[in-house]
Amino acid sequence: MKKTTWLTILLLLCLHGWVQAQSRTVSGKVTDAKGGALPGVTVLVQGTNNGISTNAEGAYSIAVPETATLVFSSVGFDAQTVAVGSQAVIDVTLTENTQALSEVVVTALNISRERKTLGYSVTEIQGNSLTQARENNVANSLVGKVAGLNVNSTAGGPGSSSNVIIRGVSSLNQTNQPLYVINGVPVESQPSIANNGGQYDNSPDLGDAISNINPDDIESISVLKGAAASALYGYRAKAGVILITTKSAKGNDGLDFNSNYVAEKIYNLTDWQYEYGQGANNIKPTTAVGAAQVGNSSWGGKLDGSDVIQFDGTTRPYTAQRDNLKNFYRTGSSWTNTLAFNKSFTGGSVRLSASNLTNKSVVPNSGLDRQTFNLAGTFEPFKHLTIDARANYILEQAKNRPILADGAGNANFNVAFLPTSIDVQSLQPGTKADGTELVYNTGNPYNTNPYFAAYNFVNNTKRERLLSTVSARYTFDNGLFLQGRVGRDGYTDRFTAVTPSGTGYLPGGKITELTTQFTDLNADGLVGKTFKVGEDFAFTPNLGTSYRRTKSEAFQNIGSDLAVFGVNTLGNAKNKSAQSFFSDQEIHSLYGSLDVSFREFLFLTATTRRDWFSTLATPGVDNDLSVTYPAVSGSFVFSELWKPEFLSFGKIRAGFSKVGQATNPYQTQLSYAFLATTLNGLPLGTISPDNVNIPNRNLLASKATEFEIGTELAFVQNRVRLDLTFYKKKSSNEIVYAPASISSGYQGAVLNAGEMENKGVEMLLTFQPVKTADFTWTSSLNGAYNKNTVLSLAAGQQQSVYATSRSGVGFMGQVVGMPFGQVLAYDYKYNPDGSIATTTNGVPVRGELTSYGTAFHPWTAGWNNDFKFKNITLGVLIDGKFGGKIFSATDYYGTVFGLRKETLVNREGTFGADKVDAATYYGALANNVSKDFVQNANFIKLRQITLGYSFPSALFGNHIQRLNLSLVARNLFFISRKTDNIDPEGSYNAFSQGLELGGVPPSRTYGVNLSAKF
């Protein structure tokens, strides 16, 4: 693969030489009235799509034909047109325009519109803000940057999933992830994990679809937060929409090169006791057998430095080992190199990029490699016709994705809970001479030696993915346009999991091979035209249709009891089984919109969409397969009518809409599958795994109605901007799984029963405290509050549990009248007089299962500051989340194993009338009263710092158009944190956020970013 990457780079360099030989170049600098450089100004060849943006110095260089006319434009400035003629250097001064905000943003169906016309909230992020202090999953780069967007990464290492929530959780049992639309084509991005919230589930996080996208290829991201903004996506719009537009050449001729290298180090948040070491009954181990039997117990004697025998028969000092995490985890790294070739020519442009990511995880023997190839071409073969074709080819290989949650095969778990007197390095190399596991805990062999888990277990994934789209648009002389588009997202995943021979808890070993093939085909057509009525009115009707077909096939082979030691293949398994899973669904849609404007200050948009679902069909039942989703929104730019001296721009907007969410396939009737087992040589049949709940032949798609109102204001010549939004959304016809009798053979019944409400406010304040020719300071503060309430579940149901901690005493559930995702734990049992009831050994008695708050922070905020002094830039991002809870199973096990400082109280004494020791008391306390493990997950974090310098082009004789070198750092430290011993963002599961255990520790990254244009 590396040879392919370098051959591609060599080809791009050759093409670059051809570009230089064919193009005539015009260069110059764009400044404001005070002489200050203007970065980001669009320089466009009039009448074409050939364009470029000025760099940090305001400089540009563009290839143009002989008779070209250049148009210089930027938000807040009057556009300027200049005929090139024989000029080789054109310097331009732009005049500030304080009349209106004319920013253009991408909206639904990939239609670009002026922001002032929108009746709903849209936040746009430029791609260059994602490429310096970057994340391996681009979704994590959005943290703290968008009001109302709550991004939570999982503690699964590089390439793991992200939980992205827009304006609160909108569904009780279906996905709450937004729809991603890449270049107009919808893309599914669900977390791929085997851990569905069961108590004994432990598995690696296999990532999601959005993590495959290379940030170097992103031009911009638009977040459509409200239903009015996303209503044209109908049944996929309930959780919000994120639009991603990838880069095209746009006349940006030449080569772009970006190299980013960061080192990664974990930081240890545990604060264990280091007074007592391994052992039991306050006694040190006296034999190797005894040391191995007590395993993870830190209930031994006081650490006194004496020589004590350990699990392997070796005598070592009985001293505190404070650096086990530091000594086990290594310094990780990520190195990303992207090279892009851009070429514009008469009638079109082409961009070809190649990117390589090499990641070495902080977890030993774990990492991620990704190669991305992106091709974008825009063509105008003849007048009126524009063709846009794009392809994104991705190859991703992940090595040994770490197992999360429970201790079996989980290196993270077993390092975290080692006794305070055991040096993790004494467990190396993890194997004995015969290759079997060096077991350090014979009392519980499921506590796998962390080195054996890291170097002998296998959890590898391979993905080959192609995202492709082609669209054609024909515009008649009268403005009528016809547009057609076809897009396809297809990938093949291969997951190989091996529990090796000689594993302590499974000596025979096991191998699983899972191959998944997924295709999502989308086709749509759109026709529209703008009409003007006199000088005041304009209206634009659009009518469209779309078709979607989504298919997936999965084939799983499992082999156990490997015959030949160390041969990890299915053919070596004595016992084999095979299963296959299929899914197929189809949706047809019609939609339309009408945009009306009056005198450029009053705007109205109405849309409607009707979807027909194959997933609602039931043979023999004439049920309605369609749902209609209407929306209306309006914008009133009052500053066009009333504009006092202090006001630069003023607008009020409002919208009302209805959106929905399709059902999963096979929920309306029973479907069947074959088992791997046979009887008399014939395979046995069974009810499909899709039907663990009783189907509902009258099932309906869920829906949500939303109202939002907001305002956008600008003051002091647009140097202060305020965007405020209030919204209220109600989800109904929620699909819930009502409990069923165990005798039925089902877990529950599929019903349309639940209701949920979200209401909240969002704020974005952007201001420039300082703006001079040499120095500017731009500050942006965003904040949001979301109040979520579960209004109802199934009839007669007040509470449901959907996930269980491995501890067995912490849960995630829904409680009527409370926010979604309640963290549930056991309270004390109280006597009639209010005192705590205890047993004869003094342990509090277990009380009611009680909810202690939501795992989804209702308050989120981000504060970004950008400073620019001449060629030097500094960026600082701080973000925080407030009001959320997390169940710390780390503290549960820390109590059971005697690691928490709280277990020092009466350590060598006895408890209760039965005079039980501290280990027995605290173990019983942890299992009876788990409320103490529910932690406040509030935090404020210094998320990102970048410090860059843009070298003057003249320094290189203008052969290099742009060269920027930046020092970058991300996830530096917590300014404030309420959790003890754990990361408040340390959930191990994107589906059941709020449960923590056995994840990769938090880490900070430091490095350098080099960006150049030739």
pLDDT at 46: 78
Closest CA to 74 of 119, 33, 118: 33
Task: Select from 79, 96, 113 the last residue of a domain.
Answer: 96
pLDDT at 99: 46
Tally the C-alpha atoms within 13 A of residue 76's C-alpha that lie toward its C-beta: 16
Q: Which two tokens stand for residue 892?
A: 């549960």
With H, G, I as helix, E, B as strand and everything else as coil, classify residue 326.
helix
* DSSP single-letter state for residue 527: E
Domain region containing 902: 128-266+331-409+457-677+702-1013
Q: Is the pLDDT of residue 91 over 80?
A: yes
State the pLDDT confidence band at 18, using cuts at 50, 70 and 90: very low
State the pLDDT confidence band at 11, using cuts at 50, 70 and 90: very low
Cβ-Cβ contacts under 8 Å for 989 (sequence gap 6 or more): 154, 193, 195, 197, 205, 404, 405, 803, 995
Q: Is the pLDDT of residue 748 over 70?
A: yes
Determine the Cα–Cα distance for residues 231 and 729; give it in Å rounded to an integer.
13
Q: Is the pLDDT of residue 61 over 50?
A: yes
pLDDT at 567: 95
Angle formed at CA 522 by CA 517 and CA 528, multiple of 5 degrees: 170
With H, G, I as helix, E, B as strand and everything else as coil, classify residue 559.
strand
| Residue 82 shares a structural domain with residue 146 | no
* Per-residue exposure over 491-512, b if at least 16 CB sit within 10 Å of its own CB, e if not: bebebbbbbbbbbbebbbbbbb
Closest CA to 859 of 164, 165, 150, 163: 150
Determine the Cα–Cα distance for residues 267 and 275; give it in Å rounded to an integer.
22
Quick check: is 913 in a domain? yes
Residues paired with residue 528 on neighbouring β-strands, in sequence order: 481, 542
Is the CA virtual torsion 974, 978, 983, 984 positive or negative?
negative
Task: Say which range, 21-30, 181-190, 288-297, 412-421, has the weakest mean pLDDT.
Answer: 21-30
| Residue 369 shares a structural domain with residue 225 | yes
Angle formed at CA 16 by CA 11 and CA 20, multiple of 5 degrees: 155
Is the CA virtual torsion 503, 504, 508, 513 positive or negative?
negative
pLDDT at 2: 47
Number of independent structural domains in the chain? 2
pLDDT tens, position by position, 968-1002: 999 999 999 999 999 999 998 877 899 999 999 99
Determine the Cα–Cα distance for residues 512 and 568; give it in Å rounded to an integer.
10
Range with the largest mean pLDDT of 76-80, 536-540, 890-894: 890-894
Quick check: is 314 in a domain? no
Neighbours of 48 (CB within 10 A): 18
| Residue 7 shares a structural domain with residue 142 | no
Task: Select from 52, 78, 96 the last residue of a domain.
Answer: 96
State the pLDDT confidence band at 128, using cuts at 50, 70 and 90: confident
| Residue 876 shares a structural domain with residue 945 | yes
pLDDT tens, position by position, 684-736: 888 888 888 899 998 999 999 999 999 999 999 899 999 999 999 999 999 88
| Residue 743 shares a structural domain with residue 817 | yes
Quick check: is 974 in a domain? yes
State the pLDDT confidence band at 192, using cuts at 50, 70 and 90: low
The string of DSSP codes covering 220-257 is EEEEE-SHHHHGGGGGG-TT-EEEEEE---TT--EEEE
| Residue 92 shares a structural domain with residue 133 | no
Q: Which two tokens stand for residue 615?
A: 């997933």
Q: What is the distance between the terminal CA atoms of the chain, rounded to a whole angstrom?
A: 26
Phi, psi of 402 (to 5 degrees): -70, 140
Task: Select from 75, 96, 117 the last residue of a domain.
Answer: 96
Quick check: is 868 in a domain? yes
- CATH number of the domain residue 998 falls in: 2.40.170.20
User: Which CB contacts under 8 angstroms, 24+ apart, belong to 635-640?
Assistant: 635/116, 635/117, 635/118, 635/119, 635/602, 635/603, 635/604, 636/601, 636/602, 636/603, 637/100, 637/116, 637/600, 637/601, 637/602, 637/603, 638/601, 639/100, 640/100, 640/599, 640/600, 640/601
pLDDT at 4: 46
Mean pLDDT of 328-336: 97
Quick check: is 123 in a domain? no
Closest CA to 907 of 417, 300, 295, 270: 300
Task: Say which range, 26-30, 600-604, 958-962, has the weakest mean pLDDT.
Answer: 958-962
Mean pLDDT of 269-278: 97
State the pLDDT confidence band at 76, using cuts at 50, 70 and 90: low
pLDDT tens, position by position, 584-630: 999 999 999 999 999 989 999 999 999 999 998 888 888 888 999 99
With H, G, I as helix, E, B as strand and everything else as coil, classify residue 723.
strand
Do residues 62 and 46 make contact, with C-beta atoms less than 8 angstroms apart? no
Quick check: is 826 in a domain? yes
Percent of the chain clearing pLDDT 90 (strictly above): 71
| Residue 80 shares a structural domain with residue 207 | no
State the pLDDT confidence band at 486, using cuts at 50, 70 and 90: very high
Do residues 625 and 598 make contact, with C-beta atoms less than 8 angstroms apart? no
Determine the Cα–Cα distance for residues 449 and 561; give it in Å rounded to an integer.
20
| Residue 140 shares a structural domain with residue 73 | no
pLDDT at 372: 97
- pTM for the structure as a whole: 0.90
| Residue 998 shares a structural domain with residue 875 | yes
pLDDT at 289: 96
Ramachandran quadrant class, 842 (left: phi over 0; alpha: psi -120 to 50; beta: rest): left
Q: Which two tokens stand for residue 323?
A: 């650096």
Cβ-Cβ contacts under 8 Å for 261 (sequence gap 6 or more): 333, 334, 335, 336, 1007, 1008
Task: Say which range, 190-199, 437-446, 818-827, 945-954, has the weakest mean pLDDT.
Answer: 190-199
Is the CA virtual torsion 294, 299, 300, 305 positive or negative?
positive
| Residue 879 shares a structural domain with residue 838 | yes
pLDDT at 194: 58
User: Average per-residue pLDDT in the chain?
Assistant: 91
Quick check: is 149 in a domain? yes
Range with the largest mean pLDDT of 176-190, 197-211, 846-860: 846-860
| Residue 168 shares a structural domain with residue 30 | no
- CATH number of the domain residue 90 falls in: 2.60.40.1120
State the pLDDT confidence band at 779, using cuts at 50, 70 and 90: very high
| Residue 854 shares a structural domain with residue 985 | yes
The single residue listed with the structure tokens 């803000």 is: 129
Quick check: is 319 in a domain? no
Report, in this order, helix, strand and coil percent for the chain, each rounded to 5: 10, 50, 35
State the pLDDT confidence band at 101, using cuts at 50, 70 and 90: very low
Q: Is the pLDDT of residue 106 over 70?
A: yes
Percent of the chain clearing pLDDT 70 (strictly above): 96
Residues paired with residue 709 on neighbouring β-strands, in sequence order: 654, 726
pLDDT at 8: 46
State the pLDDT confidence band at 23, using cuts at 50, 70 and 90: very low
pLDDT at 13: 43
